[in-house]
Amino acid sequence: MGMFDDIKKKVMGMAGSRGGKAKSAVDKGADMADDKTGGEHTENIDEGADTAKDAVDKAGAGD
């Protein structure tokens, strides 16, 4: 879980002014996690990434 906490902190730090970049970072983190797990948890990782990107939108950084 620690890796995802670190990613979340970085994304939320960028969300205020760089929503598009934050979402890109979420996608990159999800891809990295998917690679590290050998694709065994793709569905869960994608769901988590979508939740994180929704949080970026809610933070007012939508684009």
Cα 37–chain centre separation: 16
Quote the CA–CA distance of 18 and 2 in Å, as a whole number: 24
What does the pLDDT read at residue 41? 95
Predicted TM-score of the model (pTM): 0.67
Residues 37, 12: Cα–Cα separation, whole Å: 24
pLDDT higher than threshold 50 for residue 62: no
**What is the span of the domain harbouring residue 12?**
2-61
How many domains does the chain fold into? 1
Q: Which helix (H) or strand (E) holds 29?
A: helix 19-36
CB 5 within 8 A of CB 13: no
pLDDT at res. 29: 92
User: pLDDT category, 28, cuts 50, 70, 90?
Assistant: very high
